């Protein structure tokens, strides 16, 4: 399952600067964990996190469904370029 593509497809419609949106999978110390980083401009990261983290929580819940299907824990971190 391509977790990077799934997360990118979720986030791309939520940001203004689509060119600077990047999603990368990073190595994890746990074998059953997928760690994904979302990189975007400062304003777009603020949109992706949302007020009190509501949007980030919703994105994490959506991605956790994909993890359940393959028995993996999906961890998502949001980082800005600035």
pLDDT digits 0-9 by tens, 24-82: 999 999 989 999 999 999 999 999 999 999 999 999 999 999 888 889 999 999 999 86
Residue keyed to tokens 């009190």 = 52
Helix (H, G, I), strand (E, B) or coil at 33: strand
Output DSSP code: residue 28. Answer: -
Class of domain 3-80: alpha beta
Read off the tokens for 79.
Answer: 């980082």
pTM for the structure as a whole: 0.91
| pLDDT over 80 at 9, yes or no | yes
Residue 8's pLDDT band (boundaries 50, 70, 90)?
very high
């Amino acid at each position: 399952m391509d977790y990077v593509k799934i997360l990118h497809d979720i986030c791309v419609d939520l940001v203004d600067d689509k060119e600077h949106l990047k999603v990368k999978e990073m190595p994890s110390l746990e074998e059953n964990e997928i760690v994904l980083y979302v990189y975007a401009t400062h304003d777009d990261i603020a949109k992706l996190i949302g007020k009190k983290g509501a949007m980030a929580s919703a994105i994490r819940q959506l991605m956790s469904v994909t993890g359940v299907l393959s028995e993996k824990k999906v961890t998502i971190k949001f980082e800005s370029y600035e």
